[in-house]
Structure 1
Amino acid sequence: MANPFSKGWKYMMSSFDQKIDENADPKVQIQQAVEGAKKQHQQISEHAAEIIGRKSQLEMQINRLLKSQQDYQAQTQRALELADKAEDPQKATEYNQAAEVVASQLVAVEQELEGLKTQHAAAQHAAEQAKRQQQESEARLKEQLTEVDQLLAQADQASMQEQSAKAMDSLNELKPDESTPTLDAVRAKIEKRYTDALGAQELHEATGGDRIHEIAAAGNDFKASARLDAIRAEMAKKKEIEPGSEEASKES
């Protein structure tokens, strides 16, 4: 049964790592990725160099064994020639024995040489594969390095966009002071007064407005003039009556 504490710890660390990745600076992560790619390429190159070096080492050993093979063959042939030319049977036997010793050494060298040749064939194949891997790693590293400038530019753009978004959020969070009138409120009051005045003027013109007042005033003036004439007529009539009444009183 799985340990719940171990499982919880792994979950917590995974969540912690995820939060670190989310909040990490992209430029720092780009630099870390570049360093990681360079380190990996260096390791591949070192491993390839080691494999190629092993092949070269085998080639050096093979060359030495080939030289030894030639020397032993020459010594064996020389010993046999001397044994054939020797007139003394004892010397002939000694030369033959020497030839056998050298021949045994020659056989050992040739056996070792065959083993090294087998190893060299495998090393040759491994070296070619290591070269391809190293070349692919180098090409991949160059491609990644060419993308660094583009990624850095994109990181700058993303940072600027985030700052712009934060600035807009900050502006949206700002609330106007209730004790200070806003331009929108002042504009609304001005527009209301202006439209109210336009409405009153339109209504005034629709109902006659000043023309009605002029007509009413003209009617009043006409009535006043007529009334004034009537009063004058009454006064004149009274004046005519009054002298006649004085004469009547005199005759009586």
Structure 2
Amino acid sequence: MSSRDEVLGRVRRALADVPGGERPERVPVRRDYRRVHGSRTAEETVELLAENLADYRAVVHRSDTEGLAVLIRTLLARRGARTVAVPQGLEPWWMAAADAALVEDRAATTARELDTVDSVVTGCAVAVAETGTLVLDAGPDQGRRRITLVPDHHLCVVRVPDQVVGSVPEALARLDPRRPLTWISGPSATSDIELDRVEGVHGPRTLEVILLTGGGAGPLPSR
């Protein structure tokens, strides 16, 4: 018996008691697992997010609307970023103080072209405190998935506390499963068989997160 025959045999045995006309959509799935773990205030949830982001080796910053544009300029300058990819729907005032050249997210942009871009700045759809995870859904301030996977430095702005939830089930309730979802837990990394960590293999080598309070329209700062 081949491995294929063995696997298919196990599938048939597992389905032996399933009526022939039954379809998956007709069978209700129990979802009685806990959606919330423990009790936290909004502030405590944001602090947990910051702690877990740092545990995953993301660099966490905090800002209000008054200081955001200057902070973004400072962080990009610290990286020596000369070019920055930006989604078409990014708040213009976020980049108002940046000295780098802005590269707009376009369908025609190739991966090779993106590989020459130093940094990318985006918003996010939701952030999960318990797992230190940022979720992007290709919204207007996030752009196409590839702009956050190719450049070596990703600067992501999270509006707190509005975009922060405690658990993954709470995040899923906010997300549309039909959209292209990217779940980010720290900078891209992998380990070989000897457990040597290598960063930047299938995404940005450096992830910086700005926790933004008061996420409305901000001022246009002077240089």
Higher relative contact order (CA 8 A, sep 6+): 2
Which bin holds the TM-score, normalised by the shorter protein? under 0.3
Computing the radius of gyration over CA atoms, which structure comes out larger, 1 or 2?
1
Structure-2-length-normalised TM-score: 0.19
Structure-1-length-normalised TM-score: 0.17
Higher fraction of strand:
2
